[in-house]
Amino acid sequence: MSEPDELVTGHHHSVVRPAARSVGRRIVRAVRWARVRERRRRSTRLGRVATVGVIAIATLMATIGAITSHGSDLRAGRNTDLVDLVRAQADTNKNLQTQLGALRKDVDALSRADAGNPQLAAQVEQASLDAGATAVSGPAVKVTLTDAPLSVQPVGVDEDLLVVHQQDIQLVVNLFWAAGAEAMTIQGQRVISTTGVKCVGNSVVLHGIPYAPPYEIVAIGDPGQLITALDTSDGVRIYKQYADRYQLGWKQADVGRVTMPAYTGSTTLSHAKPIP
């Protein structure tokens, strides 16, 4: 028998000494580590090149922006236009308020001058009431409309059917006027002949101010007539059916005597004009 570390050859097999095998493994590991280090060096070089490239591009963009703007804000024109627009609108509102105050003084002066004419005084008072220019007190009825809860999501039902729209508010307003309402407010704002109710997204805009539900409509007048107008309306009946099915809010109540403020906004009508 041979020694364990000898190399014996024969016709059918060979045996490699353990020392030779150990040296072979070291050589293989050394080659592998050399490959790994080479890949790491390549990755590091690529990362450095990419970083330098990004910095160069950013510097170029900043330089171009500075040259284009000549050291000024590129958006200055837009900002100036917006500021001018706000100032112009503020001046317009101020002028309208001044005109309104002057007109009211004229009305008061005419009323005092014609105090000896009861018929004319009554006409002026009625005109002021119709225009909403005077505060009004009296018995009132209130209707409150609300959207369905967010948790209500019936399958196959359009989401528009689950919210209050301008036509729903307008329905109540028209019924109150037809029933002899003397004065009215929506969300606490006095309603006049030029008041428009508009839907914008999920809110309702009244006199330029957006409101979210619940929407409160209060009318001064004969409570019996106002409530009868609501109870006998086909439109209200259909709305209540949706309210029962999809949990839309509807409440009506006799709220007793209330006082409504005079309308203080602008009465100037704005409209589109054709381009010449």
Question: pLDDT tens for residues 55-92?
Answer: 667 666 666 655 555 554 444 454 556 667 777 777 78
- Which pLDDT value is given to residue 216? 96
- The 10s digit of each residue's pLDDT in 14-50 is 444 555 555 556 665 665 666 656 665 555 555 555 6
One-letter identity of residue 63: T
What residues have CB less than 8 Å from 271, skipping those under 6 apart?
Answer: none
Give the domain 136-260 fold.
Alpha-Beta Plaits (3.30.70)
Task: At 69, give phi and psi (nearest 5°).
Answer: -85, -10
CA dihedral (48, 54, 59, 65) in degrees, to 10, reads: 180
Average pLDDT over residues 171-178: 95
Give me the residue spans of the domains in the chain: 15-74, 75-130, 136-260
Helix (H, G, I), strand (E, B) or coil at 14: strand
Taking the CB of residue 119, how many other CB atoms lie within 10 A of it? 8
Model confidence, pTM: 0.55
Q: What is the distance between the alpha carbons of residues 123 and 129, in angstroms, rounded to a whole number? A: 10
Q: What is the distance between the alpha carbons of residues 41 and 37, in angstroms, rounded to a whole number? A: 6
How many whole angstroms from its chain centre is CA 209? Answer: 12
Query: Which pLDDT band holds residue 163 (cuts at 50, 70, 90)?
Result: confident
Cα–Cα distances (Å) from 17 to 9, 88, 211, 221, 272, in that order, read 12, 99, 93, 116, 102
- What average pLDDT does the structure give for the chain? 76
- The 10s digit of each residue's pLDDT in 217-250 is 999 999 999 999 999 999 999 999 988 888 899 9
**Contact in structure between 136 and 183 (CB atoms under 8 Å):** yes
